[in-house]
Amino acid sequence: MSLETQPTTDESITEFAGTLRGTLLRPDDEGYDEARSVWNGMIDKYPALVVQCAGTSDVINAVTFAKEQDLPISVKSGGHNIAGRAVEDDALMIDLSPMKSVRVDPDAKTARVEPGVVLGELDHETQQFGLATPAGYNSQTGIAGLTLGGGWGWLSRKHGLTVDNLLSADVVTAQGELVHASEDENEDLFWGLRGGGGNFGIVTSFEFQLHEVGPTVLSGPIVHPFDDAETVLEGVREFTADAPNDATVWTVIRHAPPFPFLPEEWHGRKVVILATFYAGDMEEGEDALLPLRDIGDPIADAIGPNRYTDWQQAFDGLAPAGARHYWKSHNFDEMTDEMIETFIEYGKTIPTRDTMIEIPHLGGAMNDKPVDATAYPHREFQFTMNLHTMWTDPEQDGECISWAREMHEAMAPHATGGVYANFVPEADGDQQAAYGENYERLVQIKNEWDPENLFRLNHNVEPTE
């Protein structure tokens, strides 16, 4: 159904455009195709209208207009969501990406952040004062989607989830009202925002707690031949058994990128990469990361001092916008011998040169809170697995998706049954796995704040009313 077949009239659209400080785009307008594009190249959808919001007033007017015209609403901040829920055919896309303000209070160690900000922009502002909040691994990710799904990054073993550091939020509700949510005001809504996705409203401002970090940190990759994968994975398992919360390691099985520190003859060959990070004193970090550096006989060891902002951007190029992306994910309590065997088995059959088997070590401060402290429920696991399948030729869709699903199924017997909402690639399904035992409370909050399910283009919590 196109916009022309809907009851929305040119007159009503013109009148709506007159209420905006930002820009309203129709399908024939310059900039429409760029606005509707998202990070995952598999997503190719055509909204009826795009509202590029300049501020909260535009968001309120857009929600009101969508309700009046019975238009579905999609919400875009960074557009990095794997399922591509920021865009939908024949919907009104509320594009928050122009809303870029970051206001840091260095004395209170807080930041007030608008929803169009991406992680690299947030880091740029907070690192001016030697501060940061736990937020992701790719600097192009939008802070809004990351946070609403729970959010974790290099700092999470020390400082918890992104939502554990969320102090308050301003939210435009399904009624077109602006409300404030915190531990002291609209507490249930605040609980739901911390991991319940975009189900309850559109956040126009986030307030985060910041921590002293950097500006220089100890970090870097260690690269091993894939033939040594068993030794490396066993070494990682031993290291993580009693690693301090300052230390984090991601294990990645993939074909070697053309890293400048890697001998050229290894470019394109299958390797195991240990991406390491230490959140505390660098001298202490040298001792703490030593067991990882002593594993096997690496091809290269590039651990050293790095600017925190540079490390946050270090792997952006491995997941470019516009490529075709498909993910499957599990959480695990431990890394068993059987899991190691399966990682190696499927590592041998990786379908493309850009596909990655990612195994982050998490836990630490992420697990300090009880399951019901926030809507994000996964407080009892140590490792996650993300199968990041990436390719460019649509003819490889079937092969790549099948490989990810088969490995995901093979790993299921070892998994907790939970999954990080931000890693779910399908538009529908996996809500129970994502929200776990907190799902019923989320339904109650949905009933209160969005009983008509206006905000449904997400990993949806369906109301019962």
pLDDT at 430: 76
Specify if 456 maps to a domain: no
Q: Does 426 score more than 90 pLDDT?
A: no
pLDDT at 30: 97
| Longest CA pairwise span in the chain (Å) | 70
The Cα–Cα gap between 172 and 180 comes to 9
Specify if 339 maps to a domain: yes
Distances in whole angstroms, Cα of residue 315 to Cα of each of 74, 348, 455: 28, 23, 32
State whether 117 and 166 are in the same domain.
Answer: yes
Mean pLDDT throughout 309-313? 96
State whether 241 and 296 are in the same domain.
Answer: yes
Three-state DSSP at 174 gives: coil
State whether 358 and 254 are in the same domain.
Answer: yes
Here the CATH number for the domain that contains residue 339 is 3.40.462.20
Angle, helices 337-347 vs 397-411, to 10°: value is 170
Distances in whole angstroms, Cα of residue 6 to Cα of each of 48, 64, 299: 10, 17, 61
State whether 403 and 334 are in the same domain.
Answer: yes
Q: Of the residues 95, 114, 147, which one is the last residue of a structural domain?
A: 95
Confidence of residue 465 (pLDDT cuts 50, 70, 90): low
Q: Does 3 score more than 80 pLDDT?
A: no
- Structural domain range at position 444: 102-212+437-449
Q: What is the mean pLDDT of the chain?
A: 95
Q: Does 14 score more than 70 pLDDT?
A: yes
pLDDT at 433: 87
Tens-place pLDDT, residues 125-159: 999 999 999 999 999 999 999 999 999 999 999 99
Q: Does 1 score more than 50 pLDDT?
A: no
State whether 242 and 161 are in the same domain.
Answer: no
Specify if 138 maps to a domain: yes
Tens-place pLDDT, residues 225-262: 999 999 999 999 999 999 999 999 999 999 999 999 99
State whether 309 and 345 are in the same domain.
Answer: yes
State whether 88 and 234 are in the same domain.
Answer: no
Q: Quick check: bond before 394 cis, omega within 30? A: no
pLDDT at 428: 72
Q: Of the residues 60, 95, 130, which one is the last residue of a structural domain?
A: 95
Here the CATH number for the domain that contains residue 200 is 3.30.465.10
State whether 342 and 247 are in the same domain.
Answer: yes
Interior angle at CA 118, CA 114 and CA 119, nearest 5: 110
The Cα–Cα gap between 407 and 444 comes to 35
Specify if 432 maps to a domain: no
The predicted model scores a pTM of 0.95
Specify if 459 maps to a domain: no
Q: Does 405 score more than 70 pLDDT?
A: yes
Q: Does 333 score more than 60 pLDDT?
A: yes
Sequence-distant contacts of 152-156: CB under 8 A, at least 24 apart: 152/362, 152/366, 153/119, 153/312, 154/219, 154/248, 154/277, 154/279, 154/311, 154/312, 155/211, 155/213, 155/279, 156/248, 156/362, 156/364, 156/365, 156/366
pLDDT at 431: 77
User: How many percent of the chain have pLDDT more than 70?
Assistant: 98
Instruction: Tell how far CA 415 is from the center of its chain.
Output: 20
Tens-place pLDDT, residues 85-140: 999 999 999 999 999 999 999 999 999 999 999 999 999 999 999 999 999 999 99
Q: Does 5 score more than 60 pLDDT?
A: no
Distances in whole angstroms, Cα of residue 402 to Cα of each of 317, 407, 458: 25, 9, 24
State whether 166 and 297 are in the same domain.
Answer: no
Specify if 241 maps to a domain: yes
Tens-place pLDDT, residues 61-78: 999 999 999 999 999 999
Specify if 464 maps to a domain: no
Q: Which amino acid is at 339?
A: M
Tens-place pLDDT, residues 160-187: 999 999 999 999 999 999 999 999 999 9
Total number of domains constituting the chain:
3
Q: Of the residues 48, 66, 95, which one is the last residue of a structural domain?
A: 95
State whether 314 and 389 are in the same domain.
Answer: yes
State whether 121 and 73 are in the same domain.
Answer: no
Mean pLDDT throughout 342-367? 97
Here the CATH number for the domain that contains residue 22 is 3.30.43.10
State whether 258 and 328 are in the same domain.
Answer: yes
Specify if 430 maps to a domain: no
